[in-house]
Amino acid sequence: MNVRIARMRDILKSIDADGIIAYSPENRRYLSRFTGTTGYVIISMNQAGFVTDFRYTEQAAQQCEGYEIIKNENPLTEYLADTIKKYGIKNLAYEDDYMTVGFYDKLKEKLIGVNMIPLKESSGEIRIIKDDDELENIKKAAYIADLAFTHILDYIKPGITEMDIALELEYFMRKNGASGNSFESIVASGLRSSMPHGVASEKKINHGDLLTMDFGCVYNGYCSDMTRTVVVGKANEEQKKIYSIVLKAQKEALLHIKAGVLGKDIDKIARDIISDAGYGDNFGHGLGHGVGLAIHEEPRLSPIGNRVLEKNMVVTDEPGIYIPGFGGVRIEDLVVVGEDGPIVFSKSPKELIEL
């Protein structure tokens, strides 16, 4: 039996549904292992169908183990509705965080007598625990990002732009096996480094700049995510001070990432260190988030992270201090939740690097 289909059925039982339609790229790939761009997963308690068009039927037949492959014609919603009815689904779960209102209305119109149940938080439950194959893919994506960081240190110099760095990172990662970036690279230097999500601009790198690089890549569908902050030239005393506080917070929180701990409790460890140092107002985001087929998924390490961590969840640990008019520092590792402690996939050095 397809283990992922079985897991989906367990989730459906927990929300009193007897079937699901899923077509978000992440859930579609997770449930069916289909790597194309168009397809609809329909799972009941004893059947599973993959609806796609002529372009992908051969590919789906090769990839979607355990699924009936159904070739659709227009109008699409009629083929989907016919399959849902054929499978005897009366309480249909749907991805309310992905399905548009327009598509919902068209589908609902053809599903008279079928109760539509939003997945809500259950959407994140499907992929939250990673299996061995997923962990290997994420580990490889993290490895490529580490290689890219080592490479970029020799590339950075005053006069090049943030965009130059972002493009070089992407080119290097693609040349080394990545299919692309897992998100738009954040490359923020000088005063711009106080912007947590300062994506690369045409600003030139100057001597003495703090330079934050937050980037990752996709390998076999799975994402990596890491951040390192360096100083271009010699760091001044204030830069060293801020960096040391963030590094202490990052390392201390890392030690507590293990099964059985609440996400918010790990966030508090890092947040208290930064607050006690006088910079609580300069750390405005959560400590971390889940990573997998999507770059942001469950669980969350934040003040509202009420989920208990479990073995083989994958999270980030990324505290930061951001001071307008001065700059910012963030340090981030990609981490697997272990039974007794963290398994760190990000291997790049974290001690302050002066270029």
Domain CATH for 141: 3.90.230.10
**CA dist 130 → 205, 292, 310, 338 (Å):** 39, 8, 10, 12
- Residue 90 DSSP code: S
* Identity of the residue numbered 352: L
> Are residues 254 and 272 part of one domain?
yes
Per-residue pLDDT for the chain (355 aa), expressed as one digit of tens each? Answer: 589 999 999 999 999 999 999 999 999 999 999 999 999 999 999 999 999 999 999 999 999 999 999 998 878 999 999 999 999 999 999 999 999 999 999 999 999 999 999 998 887 788 999 999 999 999 999 999 999 999 999 999 999 999 999 999 999 999 999 999 999 999 999 999 999 999 999 999 999 999 999 999 999 999 999 999 999 999 999 999 999 999 999 999 999 999 999 999 999 999 999 999 999 999 999 999 999 999 999 999 999 999 999 999 999 999 999 999 999 999 999 999 999 999 999 999 999 999 9
Pick the last residue of a domain from 81, 101, 125: 125
Q: How many CB atoms lie within 10 A of CB 75?
A: 11
Which DSSP category does 281 fall into? G
In a domain, 244, yes or no: yes
Bridge partners of 225? none
Q: Tell whether 88 and 138 lie within a shared domain.
A: no
* Strand 222-223 to 217-219 pairing: antiparallel
212 and 193 Cβ atoms separated by less than 8 Å: yes
Any domain includes 136: yes
Q: Are 184 and 199 in contact (CB under 8 A)?
A: yes
Q: Is residue 8 part of a domain?
A: yes
d(CA 135, CA 345): 10
Domain co-membership, 86 together with 169: no
Q: Judge if 314 and 209 occupy the same domain.
A: yes
28 and 37 in contact (C-beta within 8 Å)?
A: no
Residues 90 and 18 reside in one and the same domain: yes
| Amino acid at position 277, single letter | A
In this prediction, residue 1 carries a pLDDT of: 58
One domain for residues 97 and 158: no
Residue 140 forms part of a structural domain: yes
Same-domain check for residues 79 and 222: no
Residue 322: give the domain boundaries: 132-344
Q: Does residue 354 lie within any of the structural domains? A: no
140 plus 195 within the same structural domain: yes
Last residue of a domain, one of 101, 125, 149: 125
The number of beta carbons lying within 10 Å of the beta carbon of residue 171 is 12
- What is the distance in angstroms between the CA of the first residue and the CA of the last residue of the chain? 54
Nearest to residue 80, comparing CAs of 51, 56, 101? 51
